[in-house]
């Protein structure tokens, strides 16, 4: 997972990021991927509210499935100030749809430098990636500690995404130019870097990940009172770094875990409070402050708690819960479809 070089024929402000999912057996390299070589085959999801689309296809003369995610960028405050040019210049064109009294409806064509689309490439994509980014029926399961031990944990141990890309970051082998803070303490350390969903530039959509150095902590379920110093250090040092670098105080940050997480190496999300980031709903997000408070009250809280989480019907873990009688597959209904929100 790393930043890709900018395409020669794209404006310098149109940043493209490539998520590397390396296949060591096939020796696949993403260095030369070009959008002009992409052959679309299927639209997995078109989220019109979040302005995100995921397209499945392949690259010319390359084996394996590829996913392309296009996402409209957020408006930047500096582009909305006439003194900085932005949208309010002679280079911005308006095409009139209609005018009626004081109301006018237009199509706006701003300068090309403002038209960048955040692009993520996942190649080679696995069936897990395809399921993750596809629109599908979603269910809510209340996971008791017994269900975690009997069904969820064995599934995680068998089928989770590989973590080599995480270890590459922690060991200094990749993405070092993206890291904004690195506490190298083996047990209490962590790195802080932009999430794949963030372009690293637009404060309005700030999204950072703190990834712990210590291995073996998969998720909330593994946390106990012994991890409180680590959690508090991530909270305090993360807030300090973000304020110094981006000018956002801790009171304007949403700091939380996902459960279930998208990968099973403990990490914490830092987002701007005004940004409606993916996965902040009640069934997914657990605020860091609440986690710390729960562990202070009961050191083994997350080993005893019932934790709800959503399961989509294309997720392999759905089959585990369905086979054991805890879920039942239903016919697709537009009201049950979960759009890209991971």
Residues marked as catalytic:
267
The tokens for 272 are 């701007």
d(CA 267, CA 275): 19
| Alpha-carbon distances, residue 318 vs 60, 147, 314 (angstroms) | 34, 13, 7
Question: What angle in degrees, to the nearest 10, is found between the helix axes of 288-297 and 228-246?
Answer: 160
CB 18 within 8 A of CB 4: yes
d(CA 63, CA 274): 41
Extract the runs of DSSP E, i.e. beta strands, from the chain.
2-3, 16-20, 38-47, 52-59, 66-72, 93-100, 103-109, 117-123, 136-143, 181-183, 190-194, 207-212, 253-258, 267-272, 285-287, 307-312, 337-338
Task: Return the number of other C-beta atoms located less than 10 Å from residue 323's C-beta.
Answer: 10
Task: Return the number of other C-beta atoms located less than 10 Å from residue 262's C-beta.
Answer: 13
CB 106 within 8 A of CB 87: no
| Alpha-carbon distances, residue 289 vs 256, 260, 294 (angstroms) | 8, 18, 9
Query: What number of helices (H) and strands (E) belong to the chain?
Result: 8, 17
Sign of the CA dihedral 259, 262, 266, 269? negative
The tokens for 16 are 């493209």
Closest CA to 190 of 262, 267, 84: 267
The tokens for 249 are 């105080």
């Amino acid at each position: 997972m790393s930043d890709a070089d900018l395409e020669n024929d794209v404006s310098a402000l149109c940043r493209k990021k490539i998520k590397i999912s390396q296949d060591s057996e096939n020796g696949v390299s993403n260095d030369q991927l070009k959008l002009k070589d992409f052959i679309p085959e299927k639209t997995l999801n078109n989220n019109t509210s979040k302005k995100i689309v995921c397209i499945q296809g392949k690259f010319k003369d390359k084996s394996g499935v590829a996913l392309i995610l296009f996402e409209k960028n957020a408006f930047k405050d500096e582009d909305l100030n006439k003194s900085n040019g932005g949208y309010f210049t002679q280079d911005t064109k308006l095409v009139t749809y209609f005018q009626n009294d004081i109301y006018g409806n237009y199509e706006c064509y701003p300068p090309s430098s403002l038209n960048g689309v955040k692009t993520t490439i996942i190649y080679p994509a696995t069936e897990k990636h395809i399921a993750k980014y596809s629109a599908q029926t979603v269910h809510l399961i209340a996971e008791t500690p017994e269900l975690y031990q009997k069904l969820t944990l064995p599934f995680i141990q068998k089928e989770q995404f590989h973590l080599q890309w995480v270890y590459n970051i922690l060991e200094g082998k990749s993405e070092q130019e993206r890291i904004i803070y690195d506490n190298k303490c083996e047990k209490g350390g962590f790195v802080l870097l932009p999430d794949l969903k963030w372009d690293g530039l637009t404060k309005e959509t700030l999204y950072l990940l703190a990834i712990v150095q210590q291995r073996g902590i998969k998720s909330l379920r593994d946390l106990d009172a012994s991890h409180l110093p680590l959690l508090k250090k991530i909270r305090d040092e993360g807030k300090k770094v973000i304020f110094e670098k981006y000018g956002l105080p801790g009171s304007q940050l949403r700091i939380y875990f996902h459960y279930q997480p998208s990968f099973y190496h403990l990490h914490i999300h830092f987002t701007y409070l005004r940004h409606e980031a993916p996965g902040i709903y009640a069934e997914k997000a657990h605020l860091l402050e609440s986690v710390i408070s729960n562990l202070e009250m009961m050191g083994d809280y997350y080993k005893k708690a019932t934790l709800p989480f959503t399961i989509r019907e294309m997720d392999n873990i759905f089959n585990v819960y369905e086979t054991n009688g805890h879920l039942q597959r239903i016919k697709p209904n537009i009201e049950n479809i979960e759009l890209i929100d991971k």
